[in-house]
Amino acid sequence: MKKILVSLLAAVCFVNVHAQSAGDSSMHATAVAVCDCLGKSNLTDSSSAQELQQAFLSCITSSPDFLTKMMAGGDMDDAEKMATDLAMELMKINCPTFMKMAMAMAANGDGNELNFSLPSTPQVKTEKAESAEGTIVNVEEKDFLYITLKTAAGRELNFIYYTYVPGSDDWLKDPVAKLKNKNVSLSYVNTEVYQPKFKQFMNVKQIKTLTIQ
């Protein structure tokens, strides 16, 4: 699994230069939530770098909004920028625990950086797309859009929609009404998606194309 290394010291250095990129209100809300989580992590001045890292990652992975945006970015550059923006936003709101993390890294004089490995965008296990046809028997709008397809053989397959699918503008605003009980053909790839509820990556079928018949 690819990982993104976010340097706190870099965030400190560039917070003023790139402050405008962290002005998104949703990123601010995420930063507040992460900061609150960090404050409840029982970290102390004697906490090790590993303990700081684990606490930070735990708070990040408990923020589904941030992970959803990160996974929707589509590539490592977008995800890394989002992670950096979050770090800068935490600096802007003067998050006490996060500031301690930044100072701990800045005080590290041996050249070792305190880096935080964040979950990257989902990894597609195979580039080969598969196809399926049938009737959509269930549509659920949760952290992502979940679709259950029943094939002619009576088999039920579960799919996930989280990146743009060509033509989805026609049904995405009201997917239940537009898709349920409709006969469709679709293509998909097997991929990994981080599920905040279970705090782990899980294998899912990602929809690439969908056509209502």
pLDDT digits (tens, 9 = 90+) for 160-184: 987 888 888 889 889 999 999 999 9
Please state the pTM of the whole predicted model: 0.44
Superfamily of domain 130-212: Nucleic acid-binding proteins (2.40.50.140)
Least confident of 17-26, 61-70, 136-145, 187-196: 17-26
pLDDT tens digits along 57-96 = 777 766 655 555 555 544 445 556 777 778 888 888 888 8
Domains of the chain by residue range = 3-119, 130-212
- Transcribe 164-209 into DSSP letters: --TTGGGTTTSHHHHHTT-EEEEEEEEEEEEETTTTEEEEEEEEEE
Distance CA 74, CA 77 (A): 9
